[in-house]
């Protein structure tokens, strides 16, 4: 029994529609997107002794600048430079020679991460891996000591646009940082502003 005459026509129509369907899932043009974030974050269950603390703050400012290649497909690569204040405190330290002294200390991180971003309508999911430079600062009697170390870490975020034009977007993003070697996890939320630096 021969197939119906309409079968080749339907197959041809379906094949011709595939490029249009693929294009409908992503943007119609490629672009280099610049995105900035300003927000607040804090550590998850910081392993810090509070016995001698006079004052402490978990978390602080969270800033980042992202460069993303937005292709005509929903999946796009990105790189990001970020900064996050993780912890700050003042504590009383007892010394044998000088007695009780107040010491101030802070922990922050500068990160460089990269990975894929998945656009789903107005929402974007991102995940990546990169280098985290952990910055520790301690001050006692006006003398400040800086120490730093490089650790491997992970990054994940989910964001959405509340306002969007053809080349400019404003939104909100939730993000998580995990510095695996330092055993440090951080959650944050921030406002985002993005624009297309180059479109083709």
SS (H, E, C) 96-107: CCCEEEEEEEEE
Whole-number percent of the chain with pLDDT over 90? 64
Candidates 2.40.160.20, 2.60.40.10, 2.60.40.3080, 1.10.10.10; correct CATH number of 28-199? Answer: 2.40.160.20
65-116: per-residue pLDDT in tens? 999 999 888 899 999 999 999 999 998 877 767 677 888 999 999 999 999 9
Both tokens of 60, joined, read 């602080």
- Where residue 26 falls among pLDDT bands split at 50, 70, 90? low
| Separation between Cα atoms, residue 61 and residue 48, nearest integer Å | 20
Select from 63, 140, 67 the least CA-distant residue to 101.
140
- Where residue 8 falls among pLDDT bands split at 50, 70, 90? low
Mean pLDDT estimate for the chain: 86
Residues 36-61, mean pLDDT to the nearest whole number: 88
- 128 neighbors 80 (Cβ within 8 angstroms): yes
Choice between 63 and 74, residue whose per-residue pLDDT is larger: 63
- On the question of pLDDT at 64 being above 70, the answer is yes
Domain ranges of the chain: 28-199
Local structure of 183: helix, strand or coil: coil
129-150: per-residue pLDDT in tens? 999 999 999 998 888 999 999 9
Residues 6+ apart with CB under 8 A from 79: 66, 67, 112, 113, 114
Residues 44-48, mean pLDDT to the nearest whole number: 79
Measure CA of the first residue to CA of the last residue in the chain; give whole Å.
Answer: 51
Residues 43-72, mean pLDDT to the nearest whole number: 88
User: pTM score, two decimals?
Assistant: 0.80
Q: What pLDDT, on a 0 to 100 scale, did the predictor assign at position 141?
A: 83
Task: Report strand pairing: 168-179 vs 143-164.
Answer: antiparallel
């Amino acid at each position: 029994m021969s197939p119906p005459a309409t079968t080749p026509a339907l197959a041809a129509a379906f094949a011709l529609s595939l490029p249009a369907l693929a294009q409908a899932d992503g943007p119609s043009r490629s672009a280099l997107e610049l995105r900035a974030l300003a927000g607040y974050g804090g550590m998850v269950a910081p392993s810090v002794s509070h016995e001698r603390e006079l004052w402490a703050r978990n978390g602080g400012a969270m800033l980042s600048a992202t460069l993303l290649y937005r292709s005509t497909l929903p999946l796009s690569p990105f790189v990001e430079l970020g900064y996050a204040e993780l912890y700050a405190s003042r504590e009383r330290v007892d010394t044998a020679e000088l007695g009780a002294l107040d010491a101030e200390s802070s922990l922050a991180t500068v990160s460089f991460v990269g990975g894929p971003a998945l656009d789903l309508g107005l929402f974007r999911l991102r995940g990546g891996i990169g280098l985290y430079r952990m910055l520790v600062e301690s001050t006692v009697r006006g003398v400040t000591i800086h120490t730093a170390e490089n650790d491997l870490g992970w990054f994940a975020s989910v964001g959405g646009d509340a306002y969007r034009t053809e080349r400019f977007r404003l939104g909100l993003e939730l993000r998580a940082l995990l510095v695996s070697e330092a055993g440090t996890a951080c959650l944050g939320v921030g406002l985002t502003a993005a624009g297309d630096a180059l479109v083709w």
